[in-house]
Amino acid sequence: MSKVLVINAGSSSIKYQLIEMPYEIKISSGLIEKINERGTNLTLHYNGNKICIEKPLSNHQEAFHFLIEMLIKNNIIGDLNDIAACGHRIAHGGEFFKNSVEITKDNFEEIKKIEYLAPLHNPANLQGYIEMKQLLNNAIQVAVFDTSFHQSMSKEVYTYPIPFKLYEKYGLRKYGFHGTSYRNVVNRVREMVGKEKQSRIIACHLGNGASIAAIKNGKSINTSMGLTPLGGLMMGTRSGDLDPSIVEFIAHKENLSVEDVLKQLNKESGILGVSQISNDIRDVRKAAMDGDNLSKLALEMYAQRIASFIGSYYVQLGGLDTLVFTAGVGENDYRMRESIIDKVKDALQIELDDEVNCSVMATDAIISSKSSKVMVLVVVADEEIVIARDCYDILKSKL
């Protein structure tokens, strides 16, 4: 047995899970928030217990040291040698990384070279590797890329209609994200409904960040996010696809820099921007039920855009066997699932089991009726287990 520590390091947070492999036993999970802010919080779950600690942590180095200290102090691990592998979520792998890899000196340099493709994510992800490499001398360090699952897209799908020299010079193309989530979906569809229903899958990863993927025979043929996670669907705070000239228009009219406009499109748009209330669909739905018209509009726009992508991918797949909802909104908001299905059910001959759909929250389930031509599933997102599996496979290959 081997303990694998899965790390998702953000600019001001660290999310982790400790998993016993190969039995996939989740020993502990937690989150450190507000690093380098007042009131840094550590939440740690293990063995049915929950610990919340507030402690000033001025940087990631202090945060990682504190995390390991708490794992040892609470007897979650005996010492540092208990951890055999550490898996790091890396947002962007560019075209170079088509699979998960052990982080070597050469691989680290290759990841550094493409930081410009994900300046908001990759540097923080790599910081996790730097700190854990120093702490865990005997553990292998593994990079698992959000983009690698979508490297199976064809050239006509991933190429942007811009001067081709920009692709050749900078790698400007569609990459897609949420790859580990989609890999989990493919595995769970196979387990839940069998191989015959996994040939043509449309998977909707609907969280604060949201995307959709068209998956044929286990491989991505298209996805909604692009060069960055800003493309595609309307999301919690991101605009999704827009007429590109809007960036210049806002910059001129509001006297803003391009960077300022992109900040608005990333942090102040989407559900939050339209509703003017929240990026959390639960808050927006409550406001809509209380009669707020902008909240109603935001929810309708969100569902409409998802339905449009589903229709497009249905055509590209040549039909559809299984439609999957996953991640926070997809798993928990039965009204949103119903609203989306309402917009595509006649064309796709989908029939929900309304009673089952209304009862499903954060659990794997089949929510379509037996007479539905397309199976509709809810799958609990589990990106960490996918990362742990990759770590264990690489670990076994070294023995």
* Dist CA 41 CA 8 (whole Å): 16
Residues 370, 352: contact at Cβ < 8 Å? Answer: no
Which token pair is 262? Answer: 């992109």
The neighbour count for residue 110, using CB atoms within 10 Å, is 16
User: If you count them, how many residues does the chain have?
Assistant: 399
Q: Extract the tokens encoding 132.
A: 């854990």
Q: Which of 79, 106, 146, 342 is catalytic?
A: 146
Could you tell me if 235 and 271 are in contact, meaning their C-beta atoms sit under 8 angstroms apart? yes
Q: Are 135 and 64 in contact (CB under 8 A)?
A: yes
Rounded Cα distance, 316 and 284, in Å: 33
- Which residue, 41, 66, 37, 61, is CA-closest to 51? 41
Q: How far apart are CA 6 and CA 85, in angstroms?
A: 8
**Are 167 and 159 within 8 A, CB to CB?**
yes
Handedness of CA 223, 229, 234, 239 (dihedral sign): negative
Residue 146 among the catalytic residues: yes
Instruction: Assess whether the previous peptide bond of 161 is cis (omega < 30° from 0).
Output: no
Amino acid in position 86 = C
Nearest-5° Cα angle at 18, 53 to 151: 120
Provide the β-strand partners of residue 20.
3, 25
Q: Which residue has the tokens 């999704």?
A: 240
Nearest partner of 177 among 127, 120, 139, judged by Cα: 120
Q: For residues 3 and 141, what is the distance between their CA atoms, to the nearest angstrom?
A: 13
Ramachandran region, residue 367 (left: φ > 0; alpha: ψ -120 to 50; beta: rest): alpha
Residues with catalytic roles: 146
